Amino acid sequence: MNFSFNYPKKVVVGDISIRDGLQHEERFISTDAKVYYAEQLILAGVKRLELTNLGSPRNLPQFRDAEELLRRVRESKTLAKAGVNWDEIEITTVTIRESAVDRAIELKKRGVGPDRILMMVSTDEQHHFANSGVTLPEYWKEAERCIKKATDAGLKFNGTVSTIWGSPISGPTKMEDAIAFTKNWLDLGATDIEHADHDGSSTPDLVYRYYSMLLDAIPRPEVHLAHFHTTRGWGLANVLAALQAGIYTFESTLGGIGGQPANFMDDCPIPGTGNYYYKDPNSVGLVSTEDMLLMMEEMGIETGIDIDKILKLGTLWERTVGRRLRSSAILHGRIPKDPIESYKKRGLAERKAKLGEAPDQVFPVAI
The CATH number assigned to the domain holding 215 equals: 3.20.20.70
Q: What is the value of pTM for the model shown?
A: 0.94
Cβ neighbours of residue 337 closer than 8 Å, sequence gap 6 or more: none
Ranges in the chain, pLDDT < 50: none
The domain containing residue 115 runs over which residues? 12-340
For residue 53, is it within any domain? yes
Burial of 59: CB neighbours in 10 Å, binned 0-12, 13-18, 19+: middle
Cβ neighbours of residue 333 closer than 8 Å, sequence gap 6 or more: 311
Identify the pLDDT of residue 278.
Answer: 77
For residue 5, is it within any domain? no
Three-class SS state of 323: coil
CA pair distance 20, 32, nearest whole angstrom: 18
For residue 135, is it within any domain? yes
Identify the pLDDT of residue 280.
Answer: 78
CA pair distance 277, 260, nearest whole angstrom: 8
For residue 350, is it within any domain? no
Domain count for the chain: 1
Three-class SS state of 134: coil
Cβ neighbours of residue 46 closer than 8 Å, sequence gap 6 or more: 13, 14, 15, 305
CA pair distance 277, 127, nearest whole angstrom: 11
For residue 361, is it within any domain? no
Identify the pLDDT of residue 276.
Answer: 86
Query: How many CB atoms sit inside 10 A of residue 133's CB?
Result: 12
* CA pseudo-torsion sign 44, 240, 12, 250: negative
Give the HSE-up count for residue 181: Cα atoms under 13 Å, Cβ half-sphere.
31
CA pair distance 282, 264, nearest whole angstrom: 13
For residue 7, is it within any domain? no
Query: How many CB atoms sit inside 10 A of residue 53's CB?
Result: 23
Three-class SS state of 234: coil
CA pair distance 60, 62, nearest whole angstrom: 5
337: left (phi over 0), alpha (psi -120 to 50) or beta: alpha
For residue 345, is it within any domain? no
Identify the pLDDT of residue 6.
Answer: 87
Angle at 106 between CA 122 and CA 132, to 5 degrees: 20
Identify the pLDDT of residue 279.
Answer: 77
CA pair distance 160, 190, nearest whole angstrom: 10
